[in-house]
A and B are shown apart, each in its own frame.
Chain A
Amino acid sequence: MSVPLEHDYIGDSSMEKTGDVSIITPQQKSTTKLVSSLSMNLKATELRLGLPGSESPERGDGSSAELCIGLPSSKSSVSRPKRGFSVAIHGGSGNWVFSPGAGGPDNNFSSPRNNPVAANSEQGQAPKDSGLPPQSSPATEKKKAQAAGSGAGPASKAQVVGWPPIRSFRKNTMASHPTPKNSDVVEGGDHNPNSGGSASSTSVCLYVKVSMDGAPYLRKVDLKTYGGYKDLSLALENMFSCFTIGQCGSHGVSGRDGVSESRLVDILHGSEYVLTYEDKDGDWMLVGDVPWKMFIDSCRRLRIMKSSEAIGLAPRAFEKCKSSN
């Protein structure tokens, strides 16, 4: 199923802050409405069964996990952006903070809620519409397409029924973070006659790969879980701090007064990494230029680049980060 992700654009106040934002034209509405979990004001979410590209859940044959994959509950995706207890990174995030000490006591609270959980709706992947064999494991079309596309041998593994041996219930729970069928955050939704264990759909999640130069492996983050560039930066920083020199202190419960802004500002100036992303057109762009919503719409993957490689981007980034969100 290859319906690409499309968004409704909801203009909100966050866009006004960026001086040079261009007019956002709402993209064509797709049949899939997404939750804008990032607007601070919106709490209501629109529930819909089925990710773009997935079929509606059939409980019995275990394929219900297809539906559920990688969807954060909209509850949590509403609350997550507000979870940044540490003070925001200076200025928006063109230049990306990366420092040995940064993984400090905040690690506890800033650890990203990027559920590494399953199937992403990674934009840019052209999922093949492979009809699933009836007893296919809940490894979905996306997974197969991904596996096949990446040329990794595991394409056949993705189709092994009942392997790894995890109970359907646990698979569905972890994969979906299902929101309750009859209500979401605020209003009640419809009662879905589907049997329990399969979740109704909530917002679509946007899992994108994050690579860092020099790190042995990649990560995935769900862009929908962040409120803005600050949250994303902080989360990525925490995720990859173990690869930078110096240790990450990771103990201790810190309160909201944990991090001082001045420390982060200092770090920024000494940062040796730059955060970039690949957009829909395949171009590598500096993170932070465009409004957050536009960014998550067009971002296909992230790359933490060494500053030395980011020549030509950096100066612009500095200006941008001062004026941008």
Chain B
Amino acid sequence: MDLSPKQSSPSESTRFPDEVLERVLSLLTSPKDRNAVSLVCKDWYTADSWSRRHVFIGNCYSVSPEIVARRFPRIRSVTLKGKPRFSDFNLVPDNWGADVHSWLLVFASGCPFLEELRLKRMRVTDESLEFLALNFPNFRALSLLSCDGFSTSGLATVATHCKNLTELDIQENGIEDLSGEWLSCFPENFNTLEVLNFSNLITDVNPDVLERLVSRCRSLKVLKLNRTSSLDRLQRLLISAPQLTELGAGSFSEELTLQQHAELKYAFGLCKNLSVLSGFWDASALNLSAVYPACSRLSFLNMSYTALQSPELASLLPHCPCLRRLWVLDSVGDKGLEAVGANCPSLEEIRVFPTDPFDEDMIHTVTESGIVAVSQGCPKLHYILYFCRQMTNAAVATVVRNCPDFTHFRLCIMNPGQPDHTTNQPMDEAFGAVVKTCKKLKRLSISGLLTDLTFKYIGEYAKNLEALSVAFAGSSDLGMQYVMEGCSKLKKLEIRDCPFGNVALLSGLERYESMRSLWMSACNVTIDGCRSLAREMPRLNVEVMKEEGSDDCKADKVYVYRTVAGPRRDAPPSVLTFSGL
């Protein structure tokens, strides 16, 4: 921190040399901190720009690639999110946009030292993957989550050309799965892989190739196999990679002989460092017992791809004393959840997915009792995602009383507009209890029969709320107004099938520029309302997705987001863009 003796003017004598400032700032890694730092003064803005290594862009259309590359020429890692979240549920047309290619073109010249790319809900073509593989010589880590537009051929080009690849993480994508050949495209001497996740691919990879790859990548920490991987293969892989910290097993349904079972159990026992387990399609109870030796340090168990029954879960959990996160299907039933409450005192997150979301004849496999049982045994719970067919206000109130630290509360009562099944009242008081009790609440998803009162509670109490998801709820525009006026930290609001119209839409004028985005579908908003909004707020993009055969003046799906890049030019014909510019 020595100041150069040549500096004479007062302002200069108190300046840090740029290098020092950059060095200090580079110790700040959180994007929020960095953003704050960059606002202090021009010097700090510049220093941050030169030293920023990672950029997180929550909405790819909020900024243009040129702006990003110009401001942060030395970034190494980019995270980009594209389509609105409701595209996961088929509410967004396929050709909507969010194509990564234009970003890659700009980065190739502007940020050629890019090493990591993490994309969520973006469109990625094989062409883009090839471009990526060929134009970024230092490229190391690729993560694709819920993306679409590419095939296994694209993966093959990445495997072939990215000599220093450490991470290949392909999850839940709309990938055209042609063959497992891509894995064989890694060169024979390639050994830098640390993360390999192909759990959602369907075609089989060559088992010998996989084994050789795993045995030569000594730094491999994360391995997530796909469903076709046999237990035999798994056993061999575990033996050659006992250093794994995260494992996604493949199918777990095979019949094993006693000998094979013992061998598998032995192999699992070698893995002393496993903290994450997932996969396990069709797990049979006996096979699951082979996993027990690996569970002592387990912090995250994802059993949401196999319909575990309560006895199986109850047998498994005592072996996982450190469990902090658990994902299961509702096949475990309330009994299974009781076992969770009884065996997982450190549990912080639980997600219960429906085994069969569309069959209403199914018995109610998890009910309000289950969630209460978990809350009673797991006071540290702060994240819940719960799909159920019935709920009561009292149960939710009990849950948040037991666990007041919720940051994420996502309750999905699967029948739209369903009231409290014991009192027949709306579920307003349930969510009222949530927002009144959980002061740290950041994310809330509501469901069931709900009136404007729910929103009044949310607006009044949920002062830290950042993300709200609403469906089939509310009685009038007032509902949305309460939220827009009260939730000052709101960043993302998604609404479907609610009686909110233009008045509601326009009530958020003051709010939208501080939010990432607003989604409203199947509400009462009209094209005129959208036009007004765009006119009033020129720095918002207001997009309307028209459905075929719908009324001309209705705005079927509305997507509003702040942007410094102006209206986008790649929208398909079905998307109307309104802009005040």
B416 in complex: contacting residue of A59, A157, A167, A178, CB < 8 Å:
A157
Contacts of A182 in B (CB 8 A): 179-180, 203-204
Interface residue? A60 (CB, 8 A): yes
Complex: chain B residue closest to A217, CB-CB = B363
Check if A181 is an interface residue, CB within 8 A of chain B.
Answer: yes
CA distance in complex: A219, B496 (Å): 33
The yes or no answer to A146 lying at the interface (CB within 8 A) is yes
Q: What's the Cα separation between A83 and B252 when bound, in Å?
A: 13
Binary contact track A163-181/B, C-beta < 8 Å → 1, others 0: 1111111110111011111
| Alpha-carbon separation in the docked complex, A84 to B478 (Å) | 59
Query: Which one of A249-257, A269-277, A284-292 contacts B?
Result: A249-257
Q: Are B176 and A196 in contact (CB under 8 A)?
A: yes
* B143 interfacial contact with A, CB 8 Å: no
- A197 proximal to B (CB < 8 A): yes
B271 to chain A, nearest CB (A): 20
Number of chain B residues close to chain A: CB under 8 A: 69
Docked complex Cα distance between A108 and B359 (Å) = 25
CA distance A115 to B281 in the complex (A): 12
Question: With the chains together, A193 CA to B178 CA distance in Å?
Answer: 6
**Could you tell me if A118 and B360 are in contact, using CB atoms closer than 8 angstroms?**
no
Q: How far is the CB of A17 from chain B (nearest CB, A)?
A: 22
Whether the pair B284, A180 counts as a contact (CB closer than 8 A) is no
Contact call B309/A116, Cβ cutoff below 8 A: no
Q: What chain A residues lie within 8 Å of B362 (beta carbons)?
A: 116, 220
Interface stretch (choices A6-14, A29-37, A132-140):
A132-140
Residues of B within 8 A of A119 (CB): 358-359
Q: Are A135 and B359 in contact (CB under 8 A)?
A: no
Query: In the complex, which residue of chain B has the Cβ closest to the Cβ of A250?
Result: B311
Interface-forming stretch among A19-27, A74-82, A303-311, A316-324?
A: A74-82
Please indicate which of the listed interface residues B146, B200, B361 has the most CB atoms of chain A within 10 Å of its own CB: B361
Q: What residues on B are CB-neighbors of A171 within 8 Å?
A: 357
Question: Do the beta carbons of B90 and A160 come within 8 Å of each other?
Answer: no
Is A62 in contact with chain B by the CB < 8 A criterion? yes
**Cross-chain contact of B201 among A160, A179, A196 (Cβ < 8 A):** A196
**Are A165 and B289 also in contact (CB < 8 A) when A180-B228, A218-B363 are?**
no
Indicate whether A107 reaches chain B with its CB closer than 8 angstroms: yes
Distance A153 CA – B361 CA, assembled complex (angstroms): 12
CA distance A251 to B342 in the complex (A): 13
Closest to A197 in B: B174
Q: How far is the CA of A164 from the CA of B418 in the complex (A)?
A: 13
Q: How far is it, in angstroms, between the C-alpha of A166 and the C-alpha of B146 when the chains are bound?
A: 13
Contact B415 A157 (CB under 8 A): yes
- Cβ distance A241 to chain B, nearest Cβ, rounded Å: 11
Interface: B282 (CB within 8 A): yes
Asked if A113 CB lies within 8 Å of chain B CBs, one says yes
Which residues of chain A are near B19, meaning CB under 8 Å? none
Query: Which residues of chain A from 80 to 95 have a CB within 8 Å of any chain B CB?
Result: 80, 82-83, 85
**Complex-state Cα separation, A113 to B254, whole angstroms:** 13
| Inter-subunit contact A219/B311 (CB<8 Å) | no
B408-447: CB near A (< 8 Å → 1, else 0) gives: 0000101110000000000000000000000000000000
A163–B471 alpha-carbon span in the complex (Å): 9
Chain A interfacial residues counted at CB < 8 A: 74
Q: How far is the CA of A187 from the CA of B258 in the complex (A)?
A: 26
A239 to chain B, nearest CB (A): 9
Residue pair A118, B358 in contact (C-beta under 8 Å): yes
CB-CB under 8 A from A209, the residues of chain B are 361
Would you give the shortest CB distance from A135 to chain B, in whole angstroms?
7
Decide: B91 and A180 in contact? CB cutoff 8 A: no
Q: Could you say which residues of chain B place their CB within 8 Å of the CB of A157?
A: 360, 415-416
Q: How many angstroms between the C-alpha atoms of A62 and B354 in the bound complex?
A: 17
Alpha-carbon distance A250/B310, docked complex (angstroms): 8
CB distance from B522 to the nearest CB of A (A): 9
Q: Roughly how many angstroms separate A115 CA and B355 CA in the complex, as a whole number?
A: 8
Given contact pairs A75-B251, A167-B88, A251-B311, A177 touches B360 in the complex (Cβ within 8 A)? no
Assess whether A2 is interfacial by the CB under 8 Å rule: no
- Are B353 and A170 in touch, CB under 8 angstroms? yes
Task: Tell me whether A73 and B282 are in contact (CB under 8 A).
Answer: yes
* Smallest beta-carbon distance A27→chain B, Å: 28
B358 touches A113 (CB 8 A): no
Cβ proximity bits A125-159 to B, threshold 8 Å, 1 near / 0 not: 00000000001011110010011001010100110
Kindly state whether residue B126 has any CB partner on chain A within 8 Å.
Answer: no
A83 to B288, CA, bound (A): 13
- CB interface residues, A 38-95, toward B, < 8 Å: 59-62, 73, 75-76, 79-80, 82-83, 85
The distance in angstroms between the C-alpha atoms of A15 and B325, with both chains bound, is 49
Q: Residue B88 contacts which of A108, A143, A165, A199 (CB distance < 8 angstroms)?
A: A165
- What residues on B are CB-neighbors of A3 within 8 Å? none
Q: Which of A79, A174, A183 contacts B305 (CB 8 A)?
A: A174
Residues of the B chain whose Cβ atoms lie less than 8 Å from the Cβ of A194: 176
Which chain A residues numbered 238 to 282 have a C-beta less than 8 Å away from chain B? 250-253, 256
Contact A109 B286 (CB under 8 A): yes
How far is B309's CA from A61's CA once the two chains are assembled, in angstroms? 32
Nearest residue (CB) in B for A79 is B255
Question: Is the CB–CB distance between B415 and A252 below 8 Å?
Answer: no
Answer whether residue B314 sits at the interface, using C-beta atoms and an 8 A cutoff.
Answer: yes
Distance in Å: Cβ of A42 to nearest Cβ of chain B? 15
Task: Identify which of B178, B282, B312, B361 contacts A108 (C-beta below 8 A).
Answer: B312
B359 touching A111, Cβ below 8 Å: no
B148 to chain A, nearest CB (A): 8
Question: What is the distance, in angstroms, from B545's C-beta to the closest C-beta of chain A?
Answer: 12
B358 and A116 contacting across the interface, CB-CB below 8 Å: no
Tell which of B335, B356, B415 has the most Cβ of chain A within 10 Å. B356
- B530 interface hit (Cβ, 8 Å): no
Residues of A within 8 A of B227 (CB): 178, 180
Distance in angstroms between the alpha carbons of A117 and B254 in the assembled complex: 20
B314 touches A168 (CB 8 A): no
- One of B202, B358, B387 near A199 (C-beta < 8 A): B202
Task: State whether A75 touches B285 (Cβ < 8 A).
Answer: no
* Bound form: Cα–Cα A60–B148 in Å: 10
Check B176 against A109 for contact (C-beta < 8 Å).
Answer: no
Q: How far is the CA of A79 from the CA of B256 in the complex (A)?
A: 10
CB distance from A243 to the nearest CB of B (A): 11
Which residues of chain A come closer than 8 Å to B307, judged between CB atoms?
Answer: 113, 115-117, 174
For window 192-207 of chain B, which residues contact chain A by CB distance below 8 Å? 200-204
A177 engages B281 (CB within 8 Å) = yes
Q: Indicate if A195 sits at the interface (CB-CB under 8 A).
A: yes
Contact of B315 with A by CB under 8 A: yes
- Can you list 12 residue pairs at the A/B interface with Cβ under 8 Å? A75-B254, A76-B282, A108-B311, A111-B285, A137-B90, A162-B90, A163-B89, A164-B414, A165-B88, A180-B202, A209-B361, A220-B361
Interface residues of chain B, those whose CB is within 8 Å of chain A, are 86, 88-91, 94, 146, 151, 172-180, 200-204, 227-228, 251, 253-255, 258, 281-282, 284-286, 289, 304-305, 307, 309-312, 314-315, 329, 331, 335, 353-365, 387, 412, 414-416, 469, 471, 496, 547
Nearest 4 CB-CB pairings of A with B: A162-B89, A196-B177, A250-B311, A62-B90
